[in-house]
Structure 1
Amino acid sequence: MAIEEEYIRLIFGLKIKQIRTDKDLSLFGLSKLSGLSKSYLNEIEKGKKYPKTDKIIKLSETLEVPYDQLVSLKLDKNLAPIGEILQSGILDEIPLELFGIQQSDLIDIIANAPSKVNAFISTIIEIAQHYNMSREGFYLASLRSYQEAHNNYFKDLEETVIRFANSYQIDLEGNITAEELKEILTEEFGYTINLGGIPKQEELENLRCVFIPKTRTLLLSDRVDEAQKTFIFAKELGYQYLEIKERPYTFSWIKYNDFEEVLNNFYASYFAGALIIPRNHLKNNLKKLFEPQQFSETIFHEIMGLYNASPESFYQRLTNILPKDFGMQNVFFLRFTHKKGTEKYNLVKELHITHQQQPRANEINEHYCRRWMAIKTLQRTVDEKLDYAFNIQISDYVDTDQQYLVFTSATPDPFREDYYRSIGIGFLISPALEKKIKFVNDPKIPKVKVGVTCETCSLQDCEVRKAPPKRIIAKEKNKKTAKLVNELIKAYS
């Protein structure tokens, strides 16, 4: 907890509540026996008050529990997982307030939970430790949940961008340039911008920019292109206009000190995306893409070219607009990285609206399906030494009735030699989606059977399989074993 006193109060309250309920006593009953008011006892149990010594003695006598046992911070087996959670400080790390949850309410729910729920909590802690989940990883998972809970659309930020554009006379129908955003940063917010200010050292090669708050100096890598520069300037304007103080000073980030930095970084990034790719302008242009019966790659890239934005920024912006303005639910966004000459593909960013979709992060080092559009396009970029690659397919997942329309773009990583990245967005195909995207049934769009990982895939004779389907094999073996056991039971019954 934030302070030790709070932890002590909560542990004491949990003990009193458990002992009382074990004795089948209501708060009213304990109040009558102890002479302490019901409201006071309620505040003790909720961890809001810690009684004085004379009152602890009275509770000890009433509940027939030794004084030392009551004031000890040691919890019994049933409540031990709750103690672990409180002592670890994990509840301080979770941004409960974003989801309208009070910490005291959550503790109350946990305290009232049966032993099976406490066992579940212990299992979650063990899994997190087993996978060595970092503090930053936990923060980013919390942020992703926050985005998904809001369908990744934030009305207040959209309206703030419009106010900003009106105030600084930025045309939200035009192609915003880095130069006009730079002028606002320097003239209005006193920035000094130093292009090429990041030294050429291996440890700094992943950095696009560094902000020095004392002198309001923004150092840029000389490898940032026009689109990246525009996004960086727009994001800095987001920090300033939203009056954000607690923030990371590097992009990409090195570490996050607390969740507030993660959330503020997201707000500034959202601001930048909404400024560079205005909602109404994008919405009107997307209608031109979705109306024809055949998919047009030309129109897709013409729309993307209207904005001074990277493919990743464009795809990210689609995850804001499509669920909100086109009612497209069940959308996923994926970002993969890959190093040339290796067999590994890393899923470094994902978002799922409205449900957890089939393409998802794999934490057990299995091989992602090589038939995924994201991986095929990445590999093509490497093999053909392309500066940009795009493709579209319908991914038909084996063993389910789910099909996704998937768009993917891939490029080399300008900040790391021999590294490549792909960005993809996919939509669960349904009758509702077919009404909104008319080209879903375009016969020219290839339909490909895909799995999730090679180890879980039942596809026969897959030409790109990288590992045997060990989980399928184990499952089949268990089924055969169960069948033979049943036959043995029948034979000897």
Structure 2
Amino acid sequence: MEEEYIKLIFGLKLKQIRTEKNLSLFGLSKLTGLSKSYLNEIEKGKKFPKTDKIVILAEKLEVPYDQLVSLKLDKNLAPVGEILQSKILKEIPLELFGIQESTLIDIVANAPVKVNAFISTIIEIAQHYSFSRESFYLASVRSFQEANNNYFDDLEQQVLAFSRTYQVDLTQKISSQELEDILIEEFGYTINSEELTKHQELGNLRSIFVPKTKTLLLANQIDDAQRTFIYAKELAYHFLDIQDRLYTFSWIKFDNFDQVLNNFYASYFAGALMIPRATLTTQLKVLFEKETFQKDAFLQLMHRFNASPESFYQRLTNILPKDFNIQNLFFLRFTHKANSEKFHLTKELHLSHQHSPHANETNEHYCRRWVSLNVLETISKSDETHVFDLQISHYPEDDMQYLVLSSATKDPFKDNQYRSISVGLLLNKQLQKKVSFLGDPNIKTREVGVTCERCSIADCEVRKAAPIVLQKQQRDAKTAAVVQELVGKFG
């Protein structure tokens, strides 16, 4: 264990034993002959006493020496010890969020019982909802993105530097061949597009990188846009000098948080390389100045880049907050199997605040009025390769409206599986200033909920479940009102 954690655990135990014996620091000081300030430093985890001092403490507090120096905590403080011994605080770069590890340790030392209750609650919630270490790290990365409005200028500048170094013309559509040449000529890569197909167990993987021989194994069913993204990520690892990285895409395991964060950096670099900021910003301005929504122009803009719809929508979440000051937005990715009633929200991002459409882990039914689900149902019943639609979604519960753009495509790696990607923009004065086509009568407006179980929309034609959560809330509210009335009557 880290030395400071050993100090902290000893301090927690000493404070717990002292308080159980109803001793103040002043009282323990008189009892042991050790100064109050010294004992205070020990309890805060800032100092670790020498053996002779521990002997005195054990003797005066009437506890065995071995018990006092043991790293084992009793059940009341065990969760705190588990967090410290897990080294999770070491794995998460707290400085990214402006947090010092020493600050957290001081909080634990000064209020261990309350902190323990909080940690126990988090652990219980995590267990109840199968919240894994992976989920925690991904949530941390999302929070990091949100804290920076999902725009990272240093990475944008690195992309420009890369284009100058390797003479990549960012005004033209980038091909996978162009990036493959750089990988082979500059970094000694060997590209193998046959091996992965020989292993049925690897059907969901797009690529594996073998660092020892610099061999990049690729799935042969990927299209050129996917191949370009994989190549761009590999180049990002080299150009950004990232050593601690993941070696599979999609990734299946990680050793620490830095690998997850570096995977995000490489993905951001790839998206910025494939969809250059200057070109996208210029074209979006033209699109936003139109009085009516130009669907064909929007789709042409999406297809102008050698990138998947998901990469394009992800890139919108970088550019809109920075270059258009449209910061109240969300990003959603759903998956759906044909002829199934199940829709899975597998990725989300919310900027500025937690918007209404968010993931639900209690098997509730997502609102069937969402355009994100409608495009999935449409493509699953057609032969089309890309279905696009947009709508203004109005949430009566919080009286907010969002312009939501959504694209659905087939999953190339799974039979009868589809995915939709959506970006929702909060309708406010800022959006009205930037987007002229909001008044287009051809854009339909629909009242929506989050899940059927929480939705108050009456006579919904696509409802999949009764509003049981909402009904319980209403019953509880009525009960509380009657109780309040009785308190007033007899009080």
TM-score (norm 1): 0.91
* Bigger mean CA offset, 453-462 vs 377-386: 377-386
SS at match of 2:197: coil
**2:181 partner amino acid:** E
Q: Deviations over 1:65-93 (max 9, x none)?
A: 64545434454676444234224444344
**Structure 1 residue 228 displacement after superposition:** 0.9
User: What residue is the counterpart of 2:158 in the other structure?
Assistant: 160
Q: 2: CA distance between counterparts of 1:355 and 1:154?
A: 19
- Distance in 1 of aligned mates of 2:49 and 2:272: 53
Where does residue 470 of structure 1 map in the other structure? Answer: 468
Structure 1 pair 358–26 and aligned structure 2 pair: CA distance change class (3 A): farther
Report the secondary structure of 1:351's partner residue: strand
Q: Does the CA contact (< 8 Å) of 1:158 and 1:274 recur in 2? A: yes
Where structure 2 has 5 or more consecutive residues not aligned to the other structure, the ranges are none
The Cα of 1:7 is off from its aligned counterpart by 3.9
TM-aligned CA distance change 1:453 to 1:26, over 3 Å: farther
Is the contact made by 1:274 and 1:317 (CA closer than 8 Å) also made in structure 2? yes
1:243 corresponds to which letter in structure 2? D
C-alpha distance in structure 2 between counterparts of 1:114 and 1:201, whole Å: 51
The AA in structure 2 aligned to 1:99 is F
Q: Which residue of 2 aligns with 1:298?
A: 296
Aligned length: 488
Which residue of 342, 348, 351 corresponds with 1:350?
348
Please give the alpha-carbon distance, in whole angstroms, between the structure 2 residues aligned to 1:344 and 1:92.
Answer: 38
In 1, distance between residues paired with 2:29 and 2:156? 54
Q: CA separation in 2, counterparts of 1:8 and 1:232?
A: 44
* Counterpart-to-counterpart distance in 2, 1:311 and 1:467: 31
Q: Which runs of 5+ in 1 are unaligned?
A: none
Counterpart CA distance in 1 for 2:378 and 2:50 is 72
The partner residue of 2:49 within 28, 48, 51 is 51
- CA separation of 1:355/1:349 partners in 2, compared to 1, >3 Å: closer, same or farther? same
Counterparts of 1:20-419 in structure 2, within 5 Å, are 23-25=23-25, 34-35=33-34, 38=37, 44-60=42-58, 64=61, 66=63, 68=65, 70-75=68-73, 79-113=77-111, 115-419=113-417
Amino acid at match of 2:157: E
Please say which of residues 429-438 and 48-57 is displaced more in the overlay. Answer: 48-57
- Aligned equivalents of 1:19, 1:155: Cα separation in 2: 52
| TM-superposed deviation, 1:208 | 1.1
Q: What residue number does 1:457 align with?
A: 455
CA distance, structure 2, for counterparts of residue 51 and residue 487 of structure 1: 60
Distance in 1 between the 2:237 and 2:188 partners? 13
The answer to which of 77-86 and 266-275 deviates more is: 77-86
Q: Work out the CA distance in 2 between the residues paired with 1:117 and 1:371.
A: 42
Q: Which amino acid aligns with 2:177?
A: E
| AA aligned opposite 1:432 | Q
Partner Cα separation in structure 2 for residue 480 and residue 96 of structure 1:
44
CA distance in 2 between counterparts of 1:452 and 1:93 reads 34
TM normalised by structure 2 equals 0.92
Contact 1:333 1:423 in 2 (8 A): yes
Paired amino acid for 1:199:
T
Native 8 Å contact 1:8 1:73 kept in 2: yes
Deviation larger for 389-398 or 480-489: 480-489
Root-mean-square deviation (CA), in Å?
A: 2.7
* Contact preservation (8 Å) 1:31, 1:41: no
Structure 1 counterpart of 2:437: 439
Separation of aligned partners in 1, 2:88 and 2:420: 34
Kindly provide the CA deviation profile for residues 265-314 of structure 1, in whole angstroms up to 9, marking residues without a partner as x.
11111111111111122111111111112111122112112211111111
Query: Secondary structure at the residue paired with 1:335?
Result: strand
Is the 1:13–1:47 Cα contact (8 Å) retained in structure 2? yes
2:384 aligned partner, one-letter code: L
In terms of mean alpha carbon deviation, does 82-91 or 200-209 score higher? 82-91
